[in-house]
């Protein structure tokens, strides 16, 4: 199985705290509160793992970087 997951940071608003959003093809999406106990790539990996769990996917994540500052993970 090869699935792509794109993650992006979303800053705090008046009604929500900072979060990481992970999206996959087919409209599958998950948003997690920003995990301040992690840093860098690990923050985005946590969101990708949450999406994998929601979808019932298993496998290893391979990471890449987007020009806009987001991350892309491939589930292999």
pTM over 0.85: yes
pLDDT of residue 2: 84
Tokens representing 8 are 């992006």
CA-CA distance, 63 to 24, in Å (whole number)?
14
Q: What is the pLDDT of residue 23?
A: 97
Q: Would you write out the chain's pLDDT as a tens digit for each of its 76 residues?
A: 689 999 999 999 999 999 999 999 889 999 999 999 999 999 999 999 999 999 999 999 999 988 887 899 999 9
């Amino acid at each position: 199985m090869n699935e792509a997951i794109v993650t992006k940071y979303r800053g705090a608003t008046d009604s929500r705290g900072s979060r990481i959003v992970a999206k996959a093809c087919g409209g599958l999406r998950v948003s997690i509160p920003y995990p301040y106990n992690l840093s860098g790539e690990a923050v985005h990996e946590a969101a990708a793992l949450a999406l994998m769990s929601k979808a019932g996917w298993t496998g290893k994540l391979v990471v890449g970087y987007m020009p806009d500052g987001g991350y892309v993970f491939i589930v292999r």
